[in-house]
Amino acid sequence: MKFGIWGNTDKEKFWSLLDPILSWSEKNSLDPYITTRIYDKLPPNFSFSPKVIKSADEFNKLDFLIALGGDGTILSAARAVGARKTPIAGIHLGELGFLAEITVDEMFKRLNQIIEKSFSVNSKMVLKATLSKRNSEKIFFALNDFVVDRGQSQRIIDLELYAGKSFISSYKSDGLIISTPTGSTAYSLSAGGPILAPEVSAITVTPLSPHTLSLRPIVLSDNQILKIISPSEGNIAFAVDGQVSDYFSNDTEVKIEKASYDIRMISFSDSDYFKTLNLKMGWGRRGKD
C-alpha cells in the first residue's frame, strides 16, 4: 500500500510523530510519500528516505492520506486532494480538531485498522463558488464554508441572495456564511446557525449580525444554485474555509452550488458523531453535569 503524509510543519508535535509513522510504515512494508513542504523542512541526516509528492495528480496513486494537525490542516489537505477521491485520515494535533477522528493516543491502532481495511469512508459534501466579473471567472471549492463579509471595513454591507430565479432576501448585515453539513459545526454554528447531521445533504445560509430581527439562518436543498450580488459600492471580502481570501465588487456575481465531487474521510465503526459533539463542543450538557 502507498500512503501520503500531510501535516502542519509548524507544530513540534508533527515532527515528533514523523519518525514513528515512518518506522511503522517500514515495519508493515508500506510505501510512504511526503509533501514537498515536509521534505524541504526535514532535519539534516534524517534517517528515512520517503518519496515526495511532487504534483497534485500524484494523490491518485495513494491508497490513503494521513493529515496531521488541526481542522485547518485537514481543510488544506482536502483542497489539495480535490476530486481525486483519495481517502483522508485526520489525526488531531490541534486544540479542537472536530474534523479529525483519530487522536495521537490511538493513532497506531487506527492506522493498523486502515491497512487491515477495517474502516469505512464517509463522503463529505463540497461547495463550488464561481465569481464572475465581465468576461473573467474565478472558481473556488470549500469543504466547510464560504464567507462573504465586510472585510476590513466597519460599515454594514448590502447583499441580495437568490436561489435559482427566486429572490430569497436582501441583507443589511456584516455578511453571510454559506456552509456544508461539515461546516455547520464551524463558523456558522458560532453565528447561530443550525447543526446538520453529516448524512443530510443541504446548504445552510447564516447571516452575520443582520440589522433586523426577521432574518434568520435558512437551510436549502443541495440542488439549489445560489446567487449573491451586492448593490453597494466598494470591495467585499470572500473567504474559503477561512483560509483562502479574495475580494469582489458590485459588478461581480457570486454563484454557489454543490460541487461535482465529494471529499472522502476515513471513519471507523465505533465512531459516533453525536458523542463527538458532546465531548468537543459540550452538546447536550447542562451546567457542570
Active centre residues (catalytic): 71
Backbone Cα Rg of the chain: 21
Q: Render 182-243 in DSSP notation, one character per residue.
A: GGGGTHHHHTTPPP--TT--EEEEEEES-SSSS---EEEETT--EEEE--SSS-EEEEETTT
Q: Please, are residues 145 and 204 in contact by the beta-carbon 8 Å criterion?
A: no
Residue among 161, 144, 150 nearest 198 (CA): 144
Cα(236)–Cα(258) distance, rounded to whole angstroms? Answer: 23
CA dist 181 and 265 (Å) reads 14
CA distances from 6 to 22, 37, 162 (A): 13, 9, 38
Distances (CA, A) of 212 to 25, 209, 217: 56, 9, 13
Give the chain's end-to-end CA distance (angstroms, integer). Answer: 45
Alpha carbon distance 190, 281 (integer Å): 11
> What residues have CB less than 8 Å from 162, skipping those under 6 apart?
168, 226, 227, 228, 229
What are the residues whose beta carbons fall under 8 Å from the beta carbon of 213, sequence distance 6 or more? Answer: none
DSSP 58: G
Closest CA to 115 of 284, 259, 266, 283: 266
